[in-house]
Amino acid sequence: MHRILLAALAAVLVSAPARAQQDSVVRGEQDFRACAACHSLEPDRNMTGPSLANLWGRNAGSLPSFDRYSDALKASGIIWDDRSLDAWLTDPERMVPDNAMPFEGIKDARTRADLLAFLKEATKPGAAPRQMAQGRGGMMGGGMMGGMMGGGRVPNLKNLDPPQHVTSITHCRDTYRVTTADGKTRAFWERNLRIKTDSSKDGPESGAPAIVPAGMMGDRADVIFAGPEEISKMIEPRC
């Protein structure tokens, strides 16, 4: 009887860490729903952000199929592992200043640990594809270009400040690059850049399209032209 009790106790002690790890993975999968709007787990299926497949051991900013990395991230020299990913999820701007990820970080250590436990399983080579429910709530917030343009009066686009005045647009594979009169260029996933026209008295001048934020996370924008005939003239296919 004594041996049986010891064996049962040993089994409980061995299984408890495994159960705790599995619980962490399950919680992390729920947390990942906030990330799934921008990142897929399928190899080379890029969205607003790069695919996370095969993430561990990868150099930051190095996925060949993704064209929208910031120069800061590409030059960072970071290799993604448990420690670097935890620091990135805590505060990406502190870790890599001027990176392009519209994400303020996760301050809760257990949430980060759960998310990393899930990602380590879901992104390893040969992991079964997962279909995630997409959402924009939860951990993520903030943005590069401000908030949503919802309700209120439509802004007058006749007199544009340099950051609003589009001077050129290029398209390469799945990426638009929009250059404005202040000399800055922003890259957008093609599904996140909407092309519109406004011929009203508040619309932009002919030949001077405007860019305005359109999204809660800074990853989307509208480019507004005076008329449809200007669109094809402005967008240049170039890699």
- Which phi and psi (to 5°) does residue 165 adopt? -90, 110
pTM of the model: 0.68
Say which CATH number the domain at 50 has: 1.10.760.10
pLDDT of residue 147: 33
Between helix 2-31 and helix 109-122 the angle, nearest 10°, is 90
Is 228 domain-assigned?
yes
Number of separate domains in the chain: 2
pLDDT digits (tens, 9 = 90+) for 80-105: 999 999 999 999 999 999 998 888 89
- Where in the sequence is the domain holding 85, given as residue range(s)? 18-122
- Of 122, 147, 182, the one marking the end of a domain is 122
- Of 66, 94, 122, the one marking the end of a domain is 122
Is 108 domain-assigned?
yes
> For residue 66, is it left (φ>0), alpha (ψ between -120 and 50) or beta?
beta
- Of 122, 142, 173, the one marking the end of a domain is 122
106 shares its domain with 192: no
- At 139, the pLDDT band (50, 70, 90 cuts) reads very low
User: Cα(164)–Cα(61) distance, rounded to whole angstroms?
Assistant: 28
